[in-house]
Amino acid sequence: MELLTREQAAERLGISVSTLDNERVAGNLEYIQRKRYGKVWITEEAIKAYLARGTHSALPEKPARINSPYQTYRKPRKRK
């Protein structure tokens, strides 16, 4: 199990260290910290799990085409 520093993990993810810290504090990224206010380490497995949660599959088909340029998916407004 390889342990990465915050800087190394942020570089691997292509994000800033502050974004990494925000994701960590929000509970989206697992980390290791032995002492309160101590050094933070992130495992390769935690990075893989983080990326897997953020990965979405492609849509199976395109949405139905709108017939009119003025037609939307919104509910029509009531006219006065």
Q: Read off the pLDDT of residues 22-73 as tens digits, 9 standing for 90 and up.
A: 999 999 999 999 999 999 999 999 999 999 988 877 766 665 665 656 556 6
pTM, entire model: 0.65
12 touches 4 (CB < 8 A): yes
- Residue 49's pLDDT is 94
For the stretch 3-28, pLDDT in tens is 999 999 999 999 999 999 999 999 99
Q: How far is CA 38 from CA 5, 9, 41, 49, in A?
A: 12, 17, 10, 23
- Residue 16's pLDDT is 96
Backbone angles phi, psi at 13, to 5 degrees: -85, -15
User: How far is Cα 11 from Cα 3, in angstroms, rounded to an integer?
Assistant: 14
DSSP letter, residue 62: P
- Residue 55's pLDDT is 80
HSE-CB of 18 using CA atoms within 13 angstroms:
0
